[in-house]
A and B are shown apart, each in its own frame.
Chain A
Amino acid sequence: MSGTATGRTEAPASEEPDFLEVRGLHAGYGQARVLQGLDFSVARGEVCAILGPNGAGKTTTLRALSGMVRGRGSVTLNGTELLGRSPEQAARLGVAHVPEGRGTFNDLTVEENLRIGAHLRTGRRNRAAVTADLERIYDYFPALRRRSRQAAGSLSGGEQQMIAIGRALMLRPALLLLDEPSLGLAPLVTRELFGIVRAVNEEERTTVVVVEQNAQLALDIAHRAHVLEAGRLVLSGPAREIREDGQVAEVYLGVSVRSRKAG
């Protein structure tokens, strides 16, 4: 949470710079072709931000990675092709997608929501590990521990977003996809959430791809960033450079990224 304004300096040293590799990704809905050939890669343990205006194809990119929409081209995670798989198969390969709008299971309790995240981790041997992970999630999100037996639908938007992230972490994901985690949340809550995402990334070395409208926030936690416009990448680079190149960001993102070099 603290020091979000500093941004992240170095990408983590990784032997696998192409942990997630996206080549020539095209995707769309029916006649509407949204993605027109994306190329980027994410190193293991890295936080990658995908920025851009409304309708640029940010959400579609994540959906193509998790199998929620069909894509053409190639997306490999640790060498395994992801395209052409169902969302359930992608989850089996370690892709955890926190969908836009959180996807809360309203009538299930908070704990049941989290346990759905561990749906694939069956068997006796996993039982203890799942319980331990549940505790770990509650350590990240103490607010959820207090409400573990409440219906998830009765919680606030911020808490529901915590559930969504916690649920995805219960999958022990190789790749965590976050779609607009700040949507509809108060700035303070959003900051807290992003701080936790950053902590998760640091402690568990989870590779994260986060899609955000709020470029400032996303750039604070990201190592690298890509700017999408009309289904194409128009700008890629280390998050810090994109942050500091205020003019470029303003042109492409349509928002003003205030650089806070002062102080």
Chain B
Amino acid sequence: MNTIVTALGTARARRLRAALTVLLATAAAVGAPFYFAPFQVFQLTMVLLYAVALAGLNLLVGFGGQISLGHGAFFAAGAYTAAVMLDRYGTGHLATLPAAAAGCFLLGLGFGVPALRLRGLYLALVTLSFAVFLPPLLKRLEPVTGGSMGLTVDKLRPPAWSGLAEDQWTYFVVLAVTTVALLCARNLLRSRAGRALRAVRDNESAAEVMGVRLSLHKTLAFAWSAMFAGVAGCLYTWVIGFVSPDSFGFVLSITLLAGLVVGGLASLYGPLLGAAFVMYVPSVSQDLSEAAPGVVFGLLIITVMFVAPTGLAGLPGRVLAAVARRRPRATAAPPGPAPGTGSAPEAEPGPEAGSGALTTLTPPGPAVVDAEPVGAPPRTEKE
């Protein structure tokens, strides 16, 4: 009886804390564009859209136990779908989103077929080949894609009634899409199909004897994952207003995978942390070392993986466990874990919490904006 009461208590407390966290995160997310300078708002927007791509990759790698070094290709496919629709057919921005999502879903289904026969390194190599052959292909299809010159399309324009600046409006649109996408990913994982997917990752043959069709669920994992990457690509086109084959080199694919691992595999908010890492760390390393930002970026990845092998998302848990181990049991309760548990989940969902600290390190120099508005991947590629 007593234990039931305490269990109810903790369940209620957890729900309360979760509600509080969501509230704070929402407040921070909504308030951010009014507080930060336009360039910083742009960076936050990029973090959000990368988070969508990473959430998709997380479905495949973190929860599906497969690997893809070619997700940049799906990202690019989504971006080009949006750009071509806007450029050639003059459809509105809104119409490009379902088209990119559906197109990439089908593309993922097709490319998921090799995943049925291959695993581990072999699958990594095959998926890497998607990423490698895509930019030359985009250059060849010049009549549609604009070749190596790329396509310049309209960015999102704030409607007059909103009274928002362009960067703020863009931020809110991307925030809305990202929120929906992340919730979809979460619900997908809790559904029957998501459960089957995770079961296949944990124990393929045991899942199969329970009647889970491996081929179906492995291919679907690819398709969903590609769909999210495509949505992220579509958002990219909306935000940047320019696509070119060189924006989507294979380094993008590798950066996405690295970001996911750093953020935390199979974690629900790992993609947000990973996206912040992908967005901010290259520019931070640029500041630390003019000559070799790639080296600094690499060293930072190594450091994170050494300190937090389960990714940044797993760090609070590890720290708490370490604190609990250090303290004798009796005194552990009052001062230690309480602020720790309080602050940890608050830091999770809002990208601002992580980025706020990091933005102080990033000089919002206009030179940087002009040089590379794209964010992480191209910078490392320049090396």
Whether both chains belong to one complex is answered with yes
Interface residue? B207 (CB, 8 A): yes
- Contact bitstring B204-226, A, C-beta under 8 A = 1, else 0: 01111111111000000000000
Alpha-carbon gap, A91 to B209, bound state (A): 6
Q: Which 6 A-B pairs have the closest CB atoms?
A: A103-B206, A91-B211, A105-B202, A120-B211, A97-B209, A87-B208
- Extra A-B contacts (18), CB below 8 Å, given A115-B195, A116-B196, A116-B210: A68-B205, A88-B214, A91-B210, A91-B211, A104-B202, A104-B206, A105-B199, A105-B202, A105-B206, A105-B207, A107-B198, A107-B201, A107-B202, A107-B266, A115-B192, A117-B210, A119-B212, A171-B210
Question: Chain A 74-99 against B: per-residue CB contact (8 Å), 1 yes, 0 no?
Answer: 00000000000011101110001101
CA distance A91 to B207 in the complex (A): 10
Interface assignment of A26: CB less than 8 Å from any CB of chain B: no
Looking at B203, B206, B212, the one whose CB has the most chain A CB atoms below 10 A away is B206
A→B interface (CB under 8 Å)? 66-68, 86-88, 90-92, 96-97, 99, 102-108, 112-113, 115-117, 119-120, 122, 167-168, 171
Once A105-B198, A105-B199, A107-B198 are accepted as A-B contacts, the answer to whether A171 and B211 lie under 8 Å apart by CB is yes
Q: In the complex, what's the smallest C-beta–C-beta distance from A11 to chain B, in angstroms?
A: 27
Interface residues on B, range: 10 to 19
A112 and B195 within 8 A (CB)? yes
Known contacts A116-B196, A119-B196; is A104 also within 8 Å of B211 by CB? no
Write the chain A residue with the least CB distance to B195.
A112
List which B176-206 residues lie within 8 A (CB) of chain A: 192, 195-196, 198-199, 201-203, 205-206
What is the minimal beta-carbon distance from B331 to any residue of chain A, in angstroms? 26
Chain B residues with Cβ below 8 Å from A116 are: 195-196, 199, 207, 210, 212
Chain B residues within 8 Å of A107, by CB: 198, 201-202, 266
A99 near B205 with CB under 8 A, answer yes
Contact partner, A108, options B202, B208, B214, Cβ 8 Å: B202
Q: How far is the CB of B267 from chain A (nearest CB, A)?
A: 12
Say whether A122 contacts B195, CB under 8 Å.
no
Query: Given that A99-B205, A99-B206 are contacting pairs, would A92 and B198 also be in contact in the complex, using a CB cutoff of 8 Å?
Result: no
5 A-B pairs within 8 Å (CB atoms) are namely: A96-B210, A107-B266, A116-B196, A119-B212, A122-B192
Q: Give complex CA distance A101, B207 in Å.
A: 14
**Bound: A83/B190 CA distance, A:** 34
Find chain A residues with CB under 8 A from B199 CB: 105, 108, 112-113, 116
The CA-CA distance from A104 to B266 in the complex, in Å, is 18
Residues of the A chain whose Cβ atoms lie less than 8 Å from the Cβ of B201: 107
Q: How far is the CA of A107 from the CA of B208 in the complex (A)?
A: 17
Residues of B within 8 A of A120 (CB): 210-211
Q: In the docked arrangement, what's the CA distance between A113 and B209, Å?
A: 13
Chain B residues close to A by CB (< 8 Å): 192, 195-196, 198-199, 201-203, 205-214, 266
Residue of A nearest to B266 (CB): A107
Q: A residues within 8 A CB of B198?
A: 105, 107-108, 112
CA distance A67 to B192 in the complex (A): 24
CA distance A159 to B207 in the complex (A): 18
Alpha-carbon distance A68/B214, docked complex (angstroms): 13
Closest to A164 in B: B206
Q: Is the CB of A119 within 8 A of B208?
A: no
Residues of A within 8 A of B207 (CB): 105, 116
Docked Cα-Cα span, A74 to B196, in Å, equals 31
Q: Shortest CB–CB separation between residue B3 and chain A, in angstroms?
A: 10
**A residues within 8 A CB of B212?**
88, 116, 119
Residues on B with beta carbons closer than 8 Å to the beta carbon of A97: 209
A99 CA to B209 CA, complexed, in Å: 9
> How far apart are B241's CB and chain A's nearest CB, in angstroms?
41
B213 vs chain A, min Cβ distance (A): 5
The residues of A that contact B208 with a CB separation of less than 8 Å are: 68, 86-88, 91
> Residue of A at shortest CB range from B202?
A105
- Specify the chain B residue showing the minimal Cβ separation from A106: B202
A67 vs B195: C-alpha distance when bound (angstroms): 23
**Cβ of A104: which chain B residues have Cβ within 8 Å of it?**
202-203, 206
Neighbouring B residues of A112 by C-beta, 8 Å: 195, 198-199
| Complex: A105 Cα to B202 Cα, angstroms | 5
In chain A, what residue has the closest Cβ to B11?
A149
Q: Could you say which of B196, B208, B214 has the most chain A C-beta atoms within 10 Å of its C-beta?
A: B208
Given contacts A103-B203, A105-B199, contact A119 B209 (CB under 8 A): no
- Contact across chains for B209 and A68 when beta carbons are under 8 A apart: yes
Report whether A88 and B206 are in contact in the complex, using a CB–CB cutoff of 8 Å: no
Chain A residue numbers with a CB within 8 Å of B203 are: 103-106
- Measured CA separation A103–B206 after assembly (Å): 5
How far is B212's CA from A152's CA once the two chains are assembled, in angstroms?
A: 19
Contacts of A67 in B (CB 8 A): 209
Complex contacts, B195 vs chain A, CB 8 Å: 108, 112, 115-116, 119
Asked if B209 and A87 make an inter-chain contact with CB atoms under 8 angstroms apart, the answer reads yes
